[in-house]
Amino acid sequence: MAHPNFPTDNHGWAELLPARKPCPPLTGSHRFPWVVIGAGLTGLACARRLAALHPNDEIALLDARQVAQAASGRNSGFAMAVSHFTGPFDPAQSTEYKRVNSINQAGLDVLRNCISDGHIDCQWREEGIYHAAVDTMAVREHDNFVGYLNAMEVAHTNLNQDEVSARLGTTFYKCGVHVKMGALVQPAALVQGLADTLPSNVHLYEQCPVLEVTGNEPVSLRLNDGEVRADKVILATNYECGKLGFQRRQILGSTLAGSFTRVLTEDERRSLGNLSDWGVLSLHGGGATIRLTTDGRISLRNTAEYHGSVLLSDAELAKRQIIHREVFEKRFPQLSDVPFEFSWSGVEGVSRNSTNFFGRQQNNIYMAGGYNGSGVSRGTAFGTAMAEYASGGQSSLITDCLASAPATWIPPRPFLDVGAFFTVRSRFKGVGLDR
């Protein structure tokens, strides 16, 4: 049963997969050299790297939920290599652009190797990412994005309306760009696959929430039915780190919602251009995210809101699905008779100034998280780098992760709720038809 501080539901990508038996929680009193809290992409990457660096150490990986039921298994499955920086290209920011994209690429490389080595079946398709626009603000951003890609010498193809239509099967978008680096993935299958192929010295405990973290030599962790003492602890809990007393005023959760169609027929798939699968991001930050998955579904996401950092109820999801239906039929009128099979929600960790979190919190406690919607590749890179950093290592990846800007302070409640509401809502300014 889920702990009330760490709720979950049965709506998400994991519901498209065969049932998986979770690992049992940890009970009793234990001592480990290393404990990683959170078995999402960051925690899995961190535990895997720690296992390689310390083959004689036993590493505990604790998750409050079943694997793939938190943010890492509920996102839209875009593993980015190249980030989109809003606005005209700024030569003075070239070093920052390169830093972020280097982190993205490092995470992509780690994932590719793990999937290959572990023979993980997760619909991994490294065919690049589409970015598209229809309304005024997004079309203007298209020109900015192309300028940035040209200046940074990123391989891409600029597309007019007819070319977008030929590839994606919709005349809705006025223009687009295909960035040739980046991958699409079934996120829950990826997370489950990574969890099921961990090294033998990593011990995964699911439905095992950490309720309190105290001390530092050793660090003490209080569990539902036990306690753990650890020499070093890595927090990979993203926006939920505040529940353990860390970064409470720097990171919050934005709740997103999306829907899946049923599997399309062959005729329906033929109406969607000349590609077997694709993913398109709006060039407006608040626009819809759309995917044609390799198993023949359309997935879309186009709502994000401050909802107290929790998932949506069934009734709330039903209301969001009305919005999803409108968005879907505007883009794919030829599929207006195709029903949604179900809807889902998930929570992403965001900061007011869109920074990431990486570093030591206090003696022997480290944290990586806060990816502002770009956590598949970046979270993997941060987890890998954190294992090396906490082990005393040095690398260009660690340097890049440490260079993340400090987070802007978030005021306490009730001001938090008001500020968070408007912070998330500001993403939709000028979204228009790109919604």
- What's the pLDDT at 412? 58
Q: How confident is the model at residue 415 (pLDDT cuts 50, 70, 90)?
A: very low
Provide the residue type at 310 as one letter: V
| Residues in Cβ contact with 48 at an 8 Å cutoff, skipping those fewer than 6 apart | 114, 194, 198, 199, 202, 384, 387
Q: Are 407 and 352 in contact (CB under 8 A)?
A: yes
β-pairing verdict for 129-133 and 175-179? antiparallel
Evaluate whether 244 touches 233 at the Cβ level (below 8 Å). no
Q: Which residues pair with 223 in a beta bridge?
A: 210, 226
Asked whether the predicted pLDDT for residue 355 surpasses 50, the reply is: yes
CA pair distance 144, 284, nearest whole angstrom: 12
Which residues, at least 6 apart from 114, have a Cβ–Cβ distance to it below 8 Å?
48, 120, 194, 197
- Whole-angstrom distance, CA of residue 131 vs CA of residue 140: 13
Tens digits of residue pLDDT in 288-310? 999 999 999 999 998 888 888 89
Chain-centre distance for alpha carbon 384: 16
| Degrees, nearest 5: CA angle 340-346-352 | 135
Please say if the pLDDT value at position 226 is more than 70. Answer: yes
- 68-72, 221-225, 253-257: which has the minimum mean pLDDT? 253-257
Do 49 and 384 contact (CB within 8 A), yes or no? yes
> Is the peptide bond preceding residue 333 cis, with omega within 30 degrees of 0?
no
Show the domains of the chain with their CATH numbers: 26-127+182-251+356-404 (3.50.50.60)
Classify residue 175 by its DSSP letter: E
Element at 189 (helix H, strand E): helix 187-196
Q: What pLDDT digit, counting tens, does each position of 363-393 carry?
A: 999 999 888 778 899 999 999 999 999 999 9
Above pLDDT 90, what percent of the chain? 79
The span from the CA of 54 to the CA of 34, in Å, is 10
Structure token pair of residue 425:
């809502």
Candidate from 18-22, 156-160, 352-356 with smallest mean pLDDT: 352-356
Over residues 313-318, the mean pLDDT reads 94
What confidence category does residue 16 fall into, taking pLDDT thresholds of 50, 70 and 90? very high
Cβ atoms of 239 and 372 closer than 8 Å: no
Alpha-carbon Rg for the chain, nearest whole angstrom, is 21
